[in-house]
Amino acid sequence: MTLTEKQIISFDQDGYLILRNLFSQKEITVLQTEAARIAKLDTEGIIKENKTSTPKIMLRMHDPESPTTSPAYVMAARLPRVLGAAQQVLRTRDLYLHHSKINIKGAIEGSVWPWHQDFGQWKLDGILEPNLVTFMIMLDEATELGGCLHFQPGSHRLGRIDPQWDQSTAYNFYSTPTEDIKRALKQGRKPVAITGCPGDAVLFHCNLLHSSGQNLSAEDRRQVYFCYNPTNNRPREVDNPRPEYARSTNWEPVQLEENASLLGSKI
Ligand SMILES: O=C(O)CCC(=O)C(=O)O
Ligand SMILES: [Fe+2]
């Protein structure tokens, strides 16, 4: 798959691009099965939902050196329809993964992600330029009731807004301060719910304002995120860097696997 000029313009204008039915049911079954296997591991890089034993975030599946590695995810990050699309919107071939993760928003218990820009945190990781893109894959149906993502189209053009350390939810992280997000929502475009089916995928810019609500449905909502950064935008040294699973120091470009398949992937 190659993105069309129209799709690239749409990404540049909106800060995101939805790609429907990018993965077959068989491929999604492989990724789901691997996600279920990783969820049972007791290792670093798996962050639990508050007071429950259910993983909320599982990181670094793409990396053969990681305890959470999975051949299917190593391969997924190299597929032309994934890595190739990231290369096209970032207009460069040499990309490494700043991190990869599966976010599990468990039925009923899976909690809110307040409005934020991913580059709020990533700049603090030592990355200078907002030139990263995230490739997200839906493993389950994403519904409004189930806490799908919401994007504010075009908000990546605001540039980075200084974030605040936010301990208001189950996962402490840097979110956009309330007054700033209120202003952006009042002045900018109307937020959209990123609903979809297993196998749908979404590319989004690192300065795009996004959030997701509580999962009030009876179904888990799992989504995969591959966060690509050009190798020439690798982080500068910072004091107390985040762990390897959240801020990779493997800056080798991810290699395209032209004939890769997730079915029976054996990396
Ligand atoms: O999975 C979600 O609902 C949001 C996750 C997110 O925005 C993030 O991990 O940065
Ligand atoms: Fe995010």
Question: From the alpha carbon of 103, which atom of ligand 1 is closest?
Answer: 1
Question: From the alpha carbon of 118, which atom of ligand 1 is closest?
Answer: 10
Q: Does any domain span residue 245?
A: no
pLDDT tens readout for residues 111-148: 999 999 999 999 999 999 999 999 999 999 999 999 99
Q: Does any domain span residue 242?
A: no
Q: Does any domain span residue 206?
A: yes
**What pLDDT is recorded for position 15?**
98
Q: Does any domain span residue 119?
A: yes
* Closest listed ligand to the CA of 208: 2
**What pLDDT is recorded for position 51?**
66
Paired strand residues for 193: 150
**What pLDDT is recorded for position 209?**
98
What residue's CA is closest to ligand 1, atom 9? 103
Q: Does any domain span residue 25?
A: yes
265 pLDDT band (50/70/90 cuts)?
A: low
CB 114 within 8 A of CB 169: yes
Q: Is the pLDDT confidence value at 48 over 90?
A: no
Q: Tell me the CA–centroid distance for residue 98 and ligand 1, in Å.
A: 15
What residue's CA is closest to ligand 1, atom 1? 103
Measure CA of the first residue to CA of the last residue in the chain; give whole Å: 22
Q: Tell me the CA–centroid distance for residue 259 and ligand 1, in Å.
A: 30
Question: From the alpha carbon of 147, which atom of ligand 1 is closest?
Answer: 3
CB 8 within 8 A of CB 88: yes
Secondary structure string (H, E, C) spanning 99-155? EEEEEEECCCCCCCEEEECHHHHHHHCCCCCCCCEEEEEECCCECCCCCCEEECCCH
Strand runs labelled E in the chain: 16-19, 46-48, 55-59, 95-105, 113-116, 133-138, 149-151, 164-166, 173-175, 192-194, 201-205, 210-212, 221-230
267 pLDDT band (50/70/90 cuts)?
A: very low
Q: Does any domain span residue 251?
A: no
Q: Is the pLDDT confidence value at 254 over 70?
A: yes
CB 27 within 8 A of CB 199: yes
CATH of the domain at 199: 2.60.120.620
Three-state secondary structure call for residue 60: coil
Amino acid at 195: T
Q: Based on the structure, what is the number of domains in the chain?
A: 1
Show contacts of 262-265: CB within 8 Å, 24+ apart: 262/23, 262/27, 262/30, 262/31, 262/72, 262/75, 262/76, 262/79, 263/26, 263/27, 263/30, 265/30, 265/71, 265/72, 265/74, 265/75
Q: Tell me the CA–centroid distance for residue 103 and ligand 1, in Å.
A: 7
Q: What is the mean pLDDT of the chain?
A: 95
**What pLDDT is recorded for position 142?**
98
Q: Does any domain span residue 90?
A: yes
**What pLDDT is recorded for position 171?**
83
Q: Is the pLDDT confidence value at 264 over 90?
A: no
What residue's CA is closest to ligand 1, atom 3? 212
pLDDT tens readout for residues 168-216: 887 889 999 999 999 999 999 999 999 999 999 999 999 999 999 999 9
**What pLDDT is recorded for position 149?**
98
Q: Is the pLDDT confidence value at 98 over 90?
A: yes
Q: Tell me the CA–centroid distance for residue 116 and ligand 2, in Å.
A: 6
Ligand 1-lining residues (CB < 6 angstroms): 103, 105, 113, 118, 149, 210, 212, 223
Q: Is the pLDDT confidence value at 73 over 80?
A: yes
Q: Tell me the CA–centroid distance for residue 175 and ligand 2, in Å.
A: 9
Q: Does any domain span residue 94?
A: yes
* Whole-Å CA distances, 171 to 14, 49, 59, 147, 163: 27, 8, 14, 15, 15
pTM for the model? 0.97
Task: For strands 16-19 and 210-212, give the pairing.
Answer: unpaired
Give the pair of three-digit tokens for residue 86: 């990231």
Residue among 225, 226, 242, 247 whose CB has most ligand 1 atoms within 8 A, to mutate:
225
Q: Tell me the CA–centroid distance for residue 204 and ligand 2, in Å.
A: 10
Domain that holds residue 118: 5-233
